[in-house]
Amino acid sequence: MAELLVQNSKVVERVGPDAIRLERLLDASAETVWRYLTEAELREQWFMGGTDAVAGGEFELLVDHDKLSSEAVSYPDSYECFKGRIFNERVIRFEPPRLLETTFQGGDNGIVTYELMPEGEKTRLILTHSKIASPSGFQDFGGGWNSHLSVLQEKLAGRSVRDFWALHSKSREEVARALG
């Protein structure tokens, strides 16, 4: 899995004074990727579960990263406090299977935009996290998104991640280098 992070020429890039962008080419159709973004049962396999995201609606994101590793691994102490936390989000834009935009952490930590573009039998996903207020947010959110998108990439390719937290740690290092 660490090789996957290193192979990306741009792990994350800062695209504005309050925004970062990540990009992945995923081994699935735009319709399948859309389902992994909006359906809680699929979303929990790479990010957070909760409830389904629907047009014009609100939905919940439930933090339970135990489901992201194929082996039993413990939460790092610094993340244990988030386990089981629910964030209430709002869908801002919902244009299946092309564009999804939602609040992040109840809107307290910005907006996330997912753009999907078919490329043959694959889909390019561009994720932009904007309106980041925290100075450390670029590294924190960049490392988090990079690791979660790597899990999604592996899942859609029919593989799994042994230890999400080891991946997350490596991801934070890659993002720190990418953002300077």
Exposed / middle / buried, residue 177 (Cβ in 10 Å: 0-12, 13-18, 19+):
exposed
DSSP lists the bridge partners of residue 21 as 13, 128
Q: For the chain, what's the residue count?
A: 180
Specify whether the CB–CB gap between 58 and 40 falls below 8 A: no
Nearest to 36 by CA among 24, 52, 23: 52
CA dist 34 and 92 (Å) reads: 15
Could you read off the pLDDT tens digit of each residue along the chain, which spans 180 residues? Answer: 434 443 444 689 999 999 999 999 999 999 999 999 999 999 999 999 999 999 999 999 999 999 999 999 999 999 999 999 999 999 999 999 999 999 999 989 999 999 999 999 999 999 999 999 877 788 899 999 999 999 999 999 999 999 999 999 999 999 988 887
pLDDT for the residue 5: 43
pLDDT for the residue 71: 95
pLDDT for the residue 133: 85
Nearest to 53 by CA among 6, 16, 85, 88: 88
Helix (H) or strand (E) holding 37: helix 30-38
CA dist 162 and 174 (Å) reads: 19
pLDDT for the residue 4: 44
